[in-house]
Amino acid sequence: MSKRYFDLNIEKVLDNWEIFHAVREIISNALDETLLTGCQEPTFKKDKQGLWHIRDYGRGLNYEHFTQNQNIEKIKATNVIGKFGVGLKDALAVLNRSGRSVVIDSKFGHISLAMHKKEGFDDVQTLHAVFSEPLDCKFTGTEFILQVSDKEIEDAKKLFLYFEDKSPLDITPFGEIYGKSGDSANIYVNGVKVSDEDNYSFDYNITKKNAALKKALNRERSAVGRTAYSGIVKNMLLNSSTFEVISELLSQLKKIPKGTQGDEINYVDVQAYAIKKYNALKPSVFMSSFDAFDLSEDDKEKIRESGRELVIVPEAVFDRVKDDEDENGNPIGTFDIVRQEYNDNFKYDWVDERALSVKQQSIWDLRNSLLKYFELSKWEKRIRISNTINEFTSGDVHGVYDSQLGLIVLKKTVLNNKEVFYETLIHELVHATTDYADNTRDFENALGKYVGKLAIDVFSDSNVPTDTTNQNSSSELGRKTTELMSKFFKKKI
């Protein structure tokens, strides 16, 4: 057949496009044809003349593909890259403007480009697709033969997830989440890059577009603003469940105090979701930075012994989740959970009196005099010695009143020092006889009565020093008081 000239009707050449943008459109058409037809994947080859061949194995390009402003088939499809159907014409215009040769082969024709007079207007020339007889009437698919450089091919390929050798960390109803490929995160829509983010933690491939994103996807398919896709990114994270994604979100959450976190974790609902998911995936203790500051070394040791990971989170999100449950119905791990688990698993290591040293036995025997003085002799059989102390029972490290057992339990080490022994036993007697908790006014008042009764008798002894104006005399007072208490209990009772 003779040559036929098809007017491409390009009204505006995209001046900001480079050659690799044009190649991108040709690649996207090839990938879309593969997705729509399920045919063999496209091939990319360079011939001996240095021309690049991009070929798909679909239905073949025909003149009809140059007639529509929008491709209805692609608009209805949910997984294809292309949207407008004008991307190919834009690409051909950019290549022609740059003086690059383009040849297209399919079973429908051998196609080239040329400036040709517009029909009916001999004085106006526009870009036309020139159709000649096909070189092979049985040719499968469409092949573009392009005068482009290797770099331009590679730059175009970088815009497609298809050429990235990586698997998604998670697949959600809104899209796929990937590990970052470089310093900046890539944002893809159905596999084609539309933006990058300097401070995102993941690469994202959006497969379910909302109205804002559809509106933002212009012909250029570049410089799409964050507001167009941030909501979809958030929905992806709120529907993610893999350990890889959740653990990275927790890692970013931990960076908030330093201000080095990725932007996605700044959403409070993403923070809360990540905590709940992580709680279901791994035993953890979540704690606000304010509470973590007050942790003692013993508290930290208890957390380590629990096998749980300590995760310090912002106070706002901690307050939001601390009384909540994860998807498995388990309470969010807090320090209260550690306490409860410690209490449930704790066992005393009871000490036989016969195993005490002479010094320890002498101090241990002082308890009877103290109990008689305070008229609490009935507690004599309810005081025990242990190598281990459940300090969470009352928060004391030397002794506890265990209300479940009805026992005062003293740690064996208190029997090495009279002063510590007296202090601990009196303290626990107040707990045992009043059931008041530490650091309460009721407890302090009750303790004051014990101390007051004792002080009246102890300080009536003429051996108590009266000069308490300096540290040395205060220390001497403490020493003398301990000695007098011992003497007092022996002679008084």
Q: What is the pLDDT of residues 433-471, one digit of tens each?
A: 998 887 788 988 888 888 888 778 766 655 444 454 555
- Structure confidence at residue 450 (pLDDT): 84
- Maximum distance among all alpha carbons in the chain? 132
Greater model confidence, 52 or 369: 52
* pLDDT at 207 exceeding the cut of 60: yes
Q: Residue ranges per domain, the chain?
A: 4-159, 167-238, 241-344, 353-492
Q: pTM score, two decimals?
A: 0.72
Q: What angle do CA 131, 135, 140 make, to 5 degrees?
A: 100
Question: How far is Cα 222 from Cα 17, in angstroms, rounded to an integer?
Answer: 10
The band of 53, judged by pLDDT with boundaries at 50, 70 and 90, is: very high
Range scoring the smallest mean pLDDT among 44-48, 173-177, 183-187, 287-291: 287-291
Tokens of residue 64, six digits: 């009809």
- Structure confidence at residue 84 (pLDDT): 42
Question: How far is Cα 311 from Cα 372, in angstroms, rounded to an integer?
Answer: 50
* pLDDT at 72 exceeding the cut of 60: no
Exposure string of 302-313, with b = 16+ CB inside 10 Å and e = fewer, is: bbeebebebbbb
Question: How far is Cα 383 from Cα 387, in angstroms, rounded to an integer?
Answer: 14
* pLDDT at 399 exceeding the cut of 80: yes
Q: What is the mean pLDDT of residues 70-84?
A: 53
Range scoring the smallest mean pLDDT among 14-18, 257-261, 357-361: 14-18
* pLDDT at 208 exceeding the cut of 70: yes
Question: How far is Cα 393 from Cα 178, in angstroms, rounded to an integer?
Answer: 47
Tens of pLDDT along 265-285? Answer: 999 999 999 999 999 999 999
Under 8 Å CB-to-CB from 78, ≥6 apart: which residues? 207, 208
Tens of pLDDT along 118-151? Answer: 888 877 888 999 999 999 999 999 999 999 999 9
The band of 220, judged by pLDDT with boundaries at 50, 70 and 90, is: low
The band of 482, judged by pLDDT with boundaries at 50, 70 and 90, is: low
CATH number of 4-159, picked from 1.10.3470, 3.30.565, 3.30.70, 3.30.870 = 3.30.565
Residue spans of beta strands (DSSP E) within 351-406: 383-386, 399-402
Greater model confidence, 260 or 290: 260
Mean pLDDT score across all residues of the chain: 86
- Structure confidence at residue 357 (pLDDT): 94
Q: What is the mean pLDDT of residues 24-44?
A: 93
- Structure confidence at residue 464 (pLDDT): 47
Tens of pLDDT along 293-325? Answer: 888 887 888 889 889 999 999 999 999 999 999
Tokens of residue 96, six digits: 């022609």
* pLDDT at 493 exceeding the cut of 50: no
Range scoring the smallest mean pLDDT among 19-28, 86-95, 274-283, 387-396: 387-396
Question: How far is Cα 292 from Cα 14, in angstroms, rounded to an integer?
Answer: 57
Greater model confidence, 240 or 448: 240
